[in-house]
Amino acid sequence: MELTVNGEIRQVDVDPDTPLLWVIREELGLTGTKYGCGIAMCGACTVMVDGIATRSCQTPADAVAGAQITTIEAVEQDEVGRRVVEAWVANNAPQCGYCQSGQVMAAVALLKENPQPTDQDIADAMTNLCRCGTYNAVAAAVRDASNA
Amino acid sequence: MTLFDRKAPFRAVAAELPADGAPLNVSRRVFLGGAGALTLAVALPLRRARGQAADAPPPPAVPAFLELREDGTALLRSPFVEGGQGIFTAMAQIVGEELDLAPDRFEVVNAPAGEDYLVMNGMRLTGGSMSVRFGYDAMRRLGASARAMVLAAAAQELGVDASELTTEPGRVVHAASGRSLGYGELAQAAAAQPVPAQVTLKDPASFRWIRQPVDRIDVRDKSTGRAQYAIDLAVEDMLLAAVVHAPRRGLAPGEIANRAEIEGMRGVHSVQLLPGAVAVLADRWWRARKAVEALEIAWVEGTSETPMPADFSSAGWKAQMLALDGEIADAEVEGDAPGTLAAAETVIEATYDAPFLAHGQLEPPSAIARFNEDGTLEVWTSNQAPEMFQGVAAGLAGLEPGQVSIHSPILGGFFGRHFVYGDANVMPEAIALARAAGRPVKVLWTREEEFLRDALRPLGVATLRAALDAQGLPVALEAVARGEGPTGRWFGAPPGKDDSAVEGLAGKVYAIPNRRVGQRYAKNPAMLGYWRSVGHSMHDFFYEGFLDELAEAGGRDPFELRRTLLAEQPRHLALLEAVGELSGGWKRGPFEAEDGSRRARGVAMASPFGSEVATIAEVSIESGEVRVHDVWVAIDPGEIVNPAIIEAQVQSAVALGLSQALFEEVVYEDGAPQARNYDLYRILSRYEMPRVHTRIVRSGAPMGGIGEPGLPGVPPAVVNAVAALTGQRIRSLPLSNHDLSAQSG
């Protein structure tokens, strides 16, 4: 199967229903995308598929063949991504950090679609769970990135 | 056939404990973290650093902890593990302050298992909000010793006396000649210098980084996916294992109907039986998982150190605890509470409870085990206590602890999850499977297996009774907790001496002349563990909720009652005033907010882990659910290292405290937990996150903890606000179990 990940075409030999998360982590060795719940609830596995925030743990690999898949490893190759990362750093947003790859990707996808989100837009789009409770710092970082 | 003796972990933990009584007591308290600072200070030889030269501690093993590099950066092996609490940054600040090297020039890793790192009375663990407060002096001395070594090296290099040298961050300066050398240039020569027997620590007035909101050193790696957790690690030639555990502890795998078929699946190496579990080894974890979940396993009665009765339910256990009678082991007694209660005209009594809780840290447990050709064992796994894991691993593998290396990556959240806890821990499975396969094995639990096997915050029940005098003030209070605390379970603390079973009922500072806090012990069939703020996570809710009931019965405002009862406690009174002021002045309500909603506020205080905390919460009811809008927290940890990290930890503690107050509950039926993922075990989401306002009060008292203290005040502040708003007194968590739909508006 052929997947386009971070701008590169990659050949992977997996069952078609293998979740994109495990293709990314195990076949491509990109471990920035995290496994949290496996049922598309927590968002730790969020990547962008054609610019849309997507929970890769419930996305079969064959459903995204031909799409542009972007993982956290490529986040700084993009203007919005760089801005989001800088805002994350400036706000000291992460605590344990485990959910933050997914949070950052969700934020990048939001700001690409809606460069000036309201607080409500942020609340609606950023549904990733964080057990450390970084929600306020994450929201502040998204606001900073949108104002930059 | 099983691959290892499941009793071994327990024996190994026990073997780690000191043999004689006194140190054991101290160790318990160290582990518990709820004991007074005095005991803990005694427990820590390095705490004596401030003392006289005569009883000065031995110099720190600088080379073990710290490596200066030729590029001018430093590698610090921290005794404590980073799991989100910011300890690596704090360690870099503290060591950097005395070394005179900027915190962002440090790479910090968790130190391997080894004697040099047993900085707490021959133990080390990351927990009890102890890392900074009990690592503080030791880490300062470490930095100061290293600086002295750098100066000695520079003195040789420049041919001058060390007393003529000063430092600026990362450089040694000889002002007289205008020459200077970078730490990097001196790194090799410094390492060869003797560790000074004595060092002088900086005057806090000249601190450059301590007490400043220094940026976290790991924030960029954690914002770009570069941070590596246990789940991300790999070793050459490893097999990946997925596991299914028996639905109930005590069952064992019997017949597997389709074993041959599963072993023929793509990538599968083998099917392996474990105590109470079956594993599939494969070349990819996803393939192992698909295979293991396709197994048709007949579970049969087996043997277990900690079997779960087939009819066990959390509701049944709660009913048993409510009916529990028998001896009360006293934990804290002042005056004559029973006598005063018996003679009193007005006695108020209430029983409170809180449920079993899961940790729900976002990173599922994983472990890699590798037996090396020389017979040694290496383990990579999430853990809060490397030497404890080393002892357990050695016991399981039949090795000496010195033959086991424990690699301790940063933790994707912990909250008390990553102690050994018998079969609630993944490491024993990795060791057994690596031995069976003759290859390195990495085991990763699914979220569902994690919810099945997590070690739980105990379900808690306590009955409180108080006598009021004619002025409506409490003159006696008796609180009896029922059940078992994690320190009783894991460290053998007997009833009455197990602080984890009573803390938050005990240790309160209100001026109530007659007090009795006790424990009615009953062994809990569930696997118990430490959970952020341990006993405080529920007991302060019991006590502070009950105190509001006393205020109401006595015709007093709850804030005013606390003020009255703290009149002789200036530190606590100041904190109460501080949180009142922070919230714009105490107002209980109900009142109408700007958005038209009806709201009210509740207040609570707590004295957890050496710090003091006062909390106010503002709530409304939306569609029958409690909505928390703002939480104000005044926290007095005595003295501080990083105010920004303290604020972040308060945010975090408020989130977890609110999460458990609103929704969290592990429900057991038929010996098994009903929720196996976040869909049925609801945790706080962004939508429920309140605004959090923090004020740090530096009273100058001995340094207290930070990671946990923000939590205990949240549930009672919220519940007290709900009572103010609705008149409904809730004595049982979570709030989502109570019908508040009539109160919407």
Does the beta-carbon distance from B689 to A97 stay under 8 Å? no
| A15 contacts B220? CB cut-off 8 A | no
Of A19, A27, A35, the CB nearest to B364: A35
User: What is the average pLDDT across B23-31?
Assistant: 27
Place of tokens 């970084």: A134
SS3 state at B351: strand
- What's the average model confidence in pLDDT over B80-87? 94
Contact A22 B284 (CB under 8 A): yes
Q: Measuring CA to CA, how many Å separate B58 from each of B23, B46, B62?
A: 19, 8, 11
Is there a contact between B219 and A36 if contact means CB atoms under 8 Å apart?
no
Does the pLDDT value for residue B405 go beyond 80? yes
Asked if B364's CB is within 8 angstroms of A36's CB, the reply is: yes
Which residues on chain B are in Cβ contact (under 8 Å) with A22?
A: 284-286
Give the mean pLDDT of chain B.
91
Q: What is the largest CA-CA distance in chain B?
A: 84
The shortest C-alpha distance from A56 to chain B (Å) reads 13
Pick the residue from chain B with its C-alpha nearest to A19. Answer: B286
Residues of chain A positioned with their CB less than 8 A from the CB of B84: 94-97, 132
Q: What is the DSSP letter of A16?
A: T
Q: Which residues of A touch B693 (CB under 8 A)?
A: none
- Rounded to a whole number, what is the distance in Å from the CA of B218 to chain A's nearest CA? 9
Q: Residue B2: which pLDDT band, with cuts at 50, 70 and 90?
A: very low
Q: What is the DSSP string of B419-453?
A: S--GGGSSHHHHHHHHHHHTS-EEEE--HHHHHHH
Q: Is the pLDDT of residue B646 over 90?
A: yes
Per-position b or e across A119-129, b if 16+ CB within 10 A of its CB: eebbbebbbbb
- Chain A residue with CA closest to B283: the answer is A26
What six digits make up the tokens of B321? 């605890």
What are B303-353's pLDDT values in tens digits?
A: 888 899 999 999 999 999 999 998 999 999 999 999 999 999 999 999 999
Calculate the alpha carbon distances from B2 to B154, B296, B731 in Å: 60, 18, 45
**Which of B110, B223, B235 to probe by mutation at the A interface, max A CB count within 10 Å?**
B223
Query: How close A1 gets to chain B, by Cα (Å)?
Result: 16
Contacts of A59 in chain B (CB under 8 A): none
Determine how β-strand A2-5 pairs with β-strand A8-11.
antiparallel
Who among B362, B446, B679 is closest to A44 (CB)? Answer: B362
Query: Cβ–Cβ of A132/B413 closer than 8 Å?
Result: yes
DSSP bridge pairs for B481: B462, B519
Query: What residues of B are in contact with residue A133 (Cβ under 8 Å)?
Result: 651-656, 659, 684, 689
Q: Which pLDDT score is estimated for B637?
A: 96
Q: What is the pLDDT of residues B518-530, one digit of tens each?
A: 999 999 999 999 9
User: Which of chain B's residues have a Cβ under 8 Å away from the Cβ of A95?
Assistant: 84-86, 648, 652
Identify all chain B residues contacting A144, using CB atoms and an 8 Å cutoff: none
> Do B651 and A123 count as a contact with CB atoms less than 8 A apart?
no
Whole-angstrom distance, CA of residue B683 vs CA of residue A63? 30
pLDDT in tens, B539-592: 999 999 999 999 999 999 999 999 999 999 999 999 999 999 999 999 999 999
CB nearest to A131's CB, from B231, B362, B651: B362
Q: Could you report the per-residue pLDDT of B288-302, keeping only the tens digit for each?
A: 999 999 999 999 999
* pLDDT at residue number B37: 21
pLDDT over 70 for what percent of chain B?
92
Task: With CB atoms and an 8 Å threshold, state whether A32 touches B222.
Answer: no
- What stretches in chain A show pLDDT beneath 50? none
CA atoms within 13 A on the CB side of B435: 20
With CA atoms as reference, the chain B residue closest to A127 would be B686
For an interface test with A, the pick among B87, B238, B686 (most A C-beta atoms closer than 10 Å) comes out as B686
Give residue-wise pLDDT tens across range B170-221. 999 999 999 999 999 999 999 999 999 899 999 999 999 999 999 999 999 9
Mutate to test the interface with B, among A12, A21, A88, A96 (most CBs of B within 10 A): A96
Give the distance from residue A4's alpha carbon to the nearest chain B alpha carbon, in angstroms: 19
State the nearest Cα–Cα gap between B284 and chain A, in angstroms: 7
B432 pLDDT more than 90: yes
- Extents of the domains making up chain A: 2-73, 75-147
Q: CATH: 3.40.640.10, 3.30.365.10, 1.10.287.3610, 3.40.50.620. Which one for B230-305+365-444?
A: 3.30.365.10
Top-level class of domain A75-147: mainly alpha
pLDDT at B115: 84
Interface predicted TM-score of the whole assembly (ipTM), two decimals = 0.98
What pLDDT, in 10s, does the model give residues B252-264? 999 999 999 999 9
- State the pLDDT confidence band at B244, using cuts at 50, 70 and 90: very high
Gap from B709 CA to chain A (nearest CA, Å):
14
What tens digit of pLDDT does each residue of B360-394 get?
999 999 999 999 999 999 999 999 999 999 999 99
What is residue B744's predicted lDDT score, i.e. its pLDDT?
53
Tell me what pLDDT residue B21 has.
24
DSSP-derived secondary structure letter, B462: E
pLDDT band at B20 (very low <50, low <70, confident <90, very high): very low
Report how far residue B183's alpha carbon sits from residue B105's, in angstroms, rounded to the nearest whole number. 11
Closest CA–CA distance from residue A92 to any residue of chain B (Å): 6
DSSP class per residue in B630-691: EEEEEEE-SS-S-HHHHHHHHHHHHHHHHHHHHT----EETTEES--STTTS----GGGPPE
Nearest CA in chain B to A38: B447
Residues of A in contact with B657 (CB under 8 A): none
Q: What is the pLDDT of residues B49-74, one digit of tens each?
A: 333 344 556 778 888 899 999 999 99
pLDDT at B28 over 70: no
Record the tokens describing residue B392, joined without a space. 């357990």
Q: How far apart are CA B395 and CA B20, in angstroms?
A: 21
Task: Delimit the domains of chain B by residue range.
Answer: 33-223, 230-305+365-444, 316-356+457-743
CA distances from A28 to A73, A78, B233 (A): 12, 21, 14
- Cβ-defined contact of A96 to B412 (cutoff 8 Å): yes
d(CA A90, CA A95): 13
Contact by Cβ (8 Å): B85, B649: yes
**B87 interaction partners in chain A (CB closer than 8 Å):** none
Please state, in angstroms and rounded to a whole number, the distance separating the CA atoms of residues B216 and B201: 24
What local confidence, expressed as pLDDT, does residue B116 receive?
84
Topology (CATH) of B316-356+457-743: Aldehyde Oxidoreductase; domain 4 (3.30.365)
Which of B222, B293, B642 would you mutate first to test chain A, the one with the most A CBs within 10 A? B222
From B223, B653, B686, residue closest to A126, measured CB to CB: B686
Q: Do the chains contact at B86 and A95, CB–CB below 8 Å? A: yes
First to last CA, chain A: 40
Residues of B with CB below 8 A from A92's CB?
A: 215-216, 219, 644, 648
CA angle B629/B630/B632 to nearest 5° reads 165
Distance CA B458, CA B261 (A): 41
The answer to whether A131 contacts B654, with C-beta atoms less than 8 Å apart, is no
Q: Taking CB atoms and an 8 Å cutoff, what residues of chain B touch A32?
A: 224-226
Q: Do B225 and A132 touch (CB under 8 A)?
A: no
What tokens were used for B255?
């017949």
Query: Of B608, B663, B603, B609, nearest to B633 (Cα)?
Result: B603
Percent of chain B residues past pLDDT 90, beyond the cut? 86
Phi and psi (nearest 5°) for B562? -65, -40
The pLDDT of residue B644: 97
* CATH code matching the domain that covers A2-73, chosen among 3.40.50.1220, 3.40.50.150, 3.10.20.30, 3.40.228.10: 3.10.20.30
From chain B, the residues in CB contact with A101 under 8 A are 224-225
Chain B hits for A136, CB-CB cut-off 8 Å, are 651, 689, 691-692
What is the Cα–Cα distance from A107 to A53, expressed in whole angstroms? 9
Q: What share of chain A is helix, strand, coil (3-state, %, to 5)?
A: 45, 15, 40
Q: Which residues of A touch B655 (CB under 8 A)?
A: 130, 132-133, 135
What pLDDT digit, counting tens, does each position of B672-718 carry? 999 999 999 999 999 999 999 999 999 999 999 999 999 999 999 99
Residue of B nearest to A104 (CA): B223
Please list every residue in chain A whose beta carbon sits closer than 8 Å to the beta carbon of residue B650. none
Residues 6+ away with beta carbon under 8 Å from B132:
B87, B90, B94, B641, B703, B705, B706
pLDDT tier at B743, thresholds 50, 70, 90:
low
Rounded to an integer, what distance in angstroms lies between the CA atom of residue B441 and that of residue B281?
8
pLDDT at B62: 86
Q: What's the CATH architecture for B33-223?
A: 2-Layer Sandwich (3.30)
List all residues 6 or more positions away from B43 whose beta carbon is below 8 Å from its beta carbon: B26, B27, B29, B30, B120, B121
Between B555 and B22, the higher pLDDT residue? B555
Nearest CA in chain A to B448: A37
Nearest to B651 among A18, A131, A133 (CB): A133
Q: Kindly determine whether residue A131 and residue B648, on different chains, have CB atoms separated by under 8 Å.
A: no
| CA neighbor of B92 nearest in space, from B82, B102, B84 | B102
Closest residue in B to A20 (Cα–Cα): B286
pLDDT at B117 over 80: yes
Give the chain A residue nearest B680 (alpha carbons).
A41
Provide the β-strand partners of residue B480: B463, B518
pLDDT at B57: 67
